[in-house]
């Protein structure tokens, strides 16, 4: 029999599903993986699975420490498998998607993120018999995992997300504002849809032979400040000791007071990297500070953390922030 | 009733011909068939597909059953089979007997396979029967069969007069009248349909 493809399966939450007996299964520790996989016999029809545990269900939010571990774990498995799936909880999913798309580039096969709905979505009491579970069969990671497996064996070499009926570029992911879908693409263009299977409809980087570049370091000491009238001009002075970077969100550059702007320039000289996030700005006259208006806020935050993990020099940070590393730059951000 | 029919691309003329027959038989039975090979008048329209997607749904979930002709399996066949197992969607997995069982089936854990998954080898002369047996489990469908079983029935003289009386000046023959009566009783007999479905599995 011809070899079944191999898929890496990385556990970082998002693992809930209802088994045939009406029990909720999830992976909270490494020893849960075996029984969890045993309840998903359909996976064996598609691929052999090489599991790796990073974070258990309910272990808390995923931070830059886990991003680094995830990237390193993926890198360890990458050569031995035909594609990688990362299971992740809905909370902080968008940040992890951004982080992995920056930490792992020059990919030669896909990395697909997916997961189960939030733990709160499951019913308080499991139904007593399998017959009554009809309504609950749709809850859980099963369908998403199948779609992720199909996608992870496809002809693409990017970090992507599949959730529900959507397929998205990880670097453009955001939470959806409508109730029907959990995630959306900030560019308003998805990579494809799940209808009668996984269907890619937009151009993607295909598989090829290049060597993956792993840059997993992030500096977590970055804060997001929503600048508005009332923000003290002395804010930075009060917080500078805890900061390596700062993302200041505002609608108009002219709203920044001269005193606050002076604080930002001073921070630059003290190795704190300020970035101004102006999603609605079309033209920027700013020369001394980094302006971002073509990425999501989540990506801007994560990218600054990542850039600070590579360098402390503001000029190089600016270059990295302006460079389109993983398709995160969007010509027209969806408002 | 909505059926998704998946037929992998093939160079074999015999398989292509079977694909056409399967499509016809499903339609004759009254199913609205969506296929992977063509846009069809009875399948999901582009507008319906858009509406399902906008609501966050998956088109395959809206199908009442899936039929897969898997003699020459591709990656989509594996996906659909896995889907049938995971979602317990009524699925008929067909393969041409002369080509042997698809390798994919050796990976299927028969104990975990749901009862809704029916795996059948077929030949040219029994394809209709295989499909009809599968479709009988769906009450919405009229499975049109041709009467081919010869049955000798002795009646009393009064019964024969009754048959003449019921069919006089009608276009219905006595044999047709009897078949219609049996058909009417059969349709209402729930226990029979459940039994028949078990026989087909």
Return the HEC string of A190-234: CCEEECCCEEECCCCCCCCCCCCEECCCCCCCEEEEECCCCCCCC
**Pairing relationship of beta strands A198-200 and A159-163 according to DSSP bridges:** unpaired
Distance, CA of B128 to CA of B138 (rounded, Å): 16
Average pLDDT of every residue of chain B = 85
The fraction of chain B above a pLDDT of 90, given in percent, is: 33
Instruction: Identify which of A1, A153, A180 has the shortest CB distance to residue B106.
Output: A1
A4 chain-B contacts, CB cut-off 8 A: 107
Min CA distance, A127 vs chain B (Å)?
17
CB atoms within 10 A of CB B11: 7
- The model's confidence at residue A225, banded by pLDDT at 50, 70 and 90, is very high
Predicted local distance difference test score (pLDDT) of residue A60: 81
Tokens of A286: 């700013």
B104 → chain A, closest CA residue: A45
Torsions phi, psi for B6 (to 5 deg)? -115, 125
Return the higher-pLDDT residue of B114 and A160: A160
Q: CA nearest B141: which of B36, B45, B25, B61? A: B25
CB atoms within 10 A of CB B30: 15
Distance, CA of A109 to CA of B16 (rounded, Å): 34
pLDDT at A138 over 80: no
Helix and strand numbers (H, E) in chain A are: 8, 18
Q: Do A153 and B54 touch (CB under 8 A)?
A: no
The mean pLDDT value for A188-202 works out to 90
3-state secondary structure of B153: coil
Q: Do B56 and A164 touch (CB under 8 A)?
A: yes
Min CA distance, A194 vs chain B (Å)?
6
pLDDT at A128 over 70: no
Min CA distance, B118 vs chain A (Å)?
15
Q: Which of A7, A21, A41 to mutate to test the interface with B (most CBs of B within 10 A)?
A: A41
The fraction of chain A above a pLDDT of 90, given in percent, is: 73
Q: CA nearest A194: which of A213, A203, A207, A181? A: A181
Torsions phi, psi for A50 (to 5 deg)? -110, 100
Min CA distance, B51 vs chain A (Å)?
11
Q: Do B56 and A194 touch (CB under 8 A)?
A: no
CB atoms within 10 A of CB A148: 30
Q: Do A42 and B4 touch (CB under 8 A)?
A: no
B76 chain-A contacts, CB cut-off 8 A: 197
3-state secondary structure of A275: strand
CB atoms within 10 A of CB A162: 29
How many beta-carbon pairs below 8 A join chains A and B? 77
Tokens of A39: 């309840």
Distance, CA of A317 to CA of A325 (rounded, Å): 13
B56 chain-A contacts, CB cut-off 8 A: 164-165, 180-181
Find tokens 């930002």 and name the residue: A264
Min CA distance, A111 vs chain B (Å)?
18
Find tokens 């899936």 and name the residue: B66
| Angle at CA of residue A90, ends A84 and A92, nearest 5° | 90
Tokens of A149: 């497996």
pLDDT at A283 over 90: no
Between A108-122, A243-257, A293-307, the lowest mean confidence (pLDDT) is in A108-122
Distance, CA of A292 to CA of A297 (rounded, Å): 9
């Amino acid at each position: 029999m011809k070899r079944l493809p191999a898929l890496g399966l990385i556990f970082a939450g998002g693992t809930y599903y209802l088994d045939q007996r009406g029990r909720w299964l999830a992976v909270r520790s490494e020893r849960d993986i075996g029984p969890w996989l045993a309840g998903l016999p359909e996976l064996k029809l598609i691929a052999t699975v090489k599991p790796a545990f990073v974070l258990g269900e309910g272990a808390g939010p995923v931070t830059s420490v886990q991003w680094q571990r995830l990237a390193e774990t993926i890198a360890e498995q990458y050569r031995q498998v035909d594609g990688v799936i990362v299971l992740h909880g809905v909370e902080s999913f968008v940040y992890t998607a951004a982080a992995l798309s920056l930490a792992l580039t020059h990919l030669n096969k896909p990395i697909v993120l997916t997961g189960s709905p939030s733990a709160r979505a499951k019913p308080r009491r499991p139904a007593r018999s399998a017959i009554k579970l009809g309504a609950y069969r749709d809850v859980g990671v099963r369908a998403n995992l199948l779609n992720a497996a199909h996608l992870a064996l496809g002809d693409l070499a990017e970090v992507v997300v599949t959730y529900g009926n959507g397929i998205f570029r990880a670097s453009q992911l955001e939470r959806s504002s409508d109730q029907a879908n959990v995630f959306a693409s900030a560019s308003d263009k998805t990579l494809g849809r799940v209808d009668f299977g996984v269907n890619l409809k937009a151009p993607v980087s295909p598989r090829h032979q290049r060597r993956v570049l792993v840059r997993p370091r992030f500096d977590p000491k970055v804060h997001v400040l929503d600048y508005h009238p009332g923000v003290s001009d002395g804010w930075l002075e009060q917080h500078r000791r805890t900061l390596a970077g700062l993302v200041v969100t505002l609608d108009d550059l002219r709203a920044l007071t001269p005193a606050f702007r002076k604080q930002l320039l001073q921070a630059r000289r003290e190795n704190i990297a300020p970035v101004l996030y102006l999603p609605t700005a079309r033209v920027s006259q700013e020369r001394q500070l980094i302006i971002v208006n073509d990425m999501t806020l989540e990506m801007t935050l994560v990218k600054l953390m990542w850039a600070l993990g590579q360098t402390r020099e503001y000029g190089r940070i600016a270059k990295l922030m302006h460079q389109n590393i993983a398709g995160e730059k969007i010509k027209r951000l969806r408002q | 009733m909505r059926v998704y029919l998946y037929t992998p691309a093939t160079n074999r003329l015999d398989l292509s011909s079977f694909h056409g027959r399967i499509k016809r038989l499903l339609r004759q039975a009254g199913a609205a068939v969506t296929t992977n090979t063509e846009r069809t008048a009875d399948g999901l329209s582009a507008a319906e597909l858009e509406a399902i997607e906008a609501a966050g749904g998956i088109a395959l979930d809206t199908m009442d059953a899936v039929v897969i002709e898997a003699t020459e399996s591709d990656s989509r066949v594996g996906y659909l089979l896995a889907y049938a197992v995971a979602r317990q969607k009524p699925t008929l997995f067909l393969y041409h007997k002369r080509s042997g069982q698809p390798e994919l089936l050796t990976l299927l854990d028969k104990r975990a396979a749901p009862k809704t998954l029916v795996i059948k080898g077929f030949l040219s002369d029994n394809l209709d029967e295989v499909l009809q047996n599968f479709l009988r489990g769906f009450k919405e469908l009229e499975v049109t069969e041709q009467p081919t079983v010869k049955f000798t029935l002795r009646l009393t003289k009064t019964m024969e007069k009754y048959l003449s009386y019921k069919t006089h000046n009608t276009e219905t023959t006595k044999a047709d009248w009897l078949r219609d009566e049996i058909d009417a009783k059969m349709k209402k007999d729930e226990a029979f349909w459940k039994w028949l479905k078990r026989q087909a599995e």
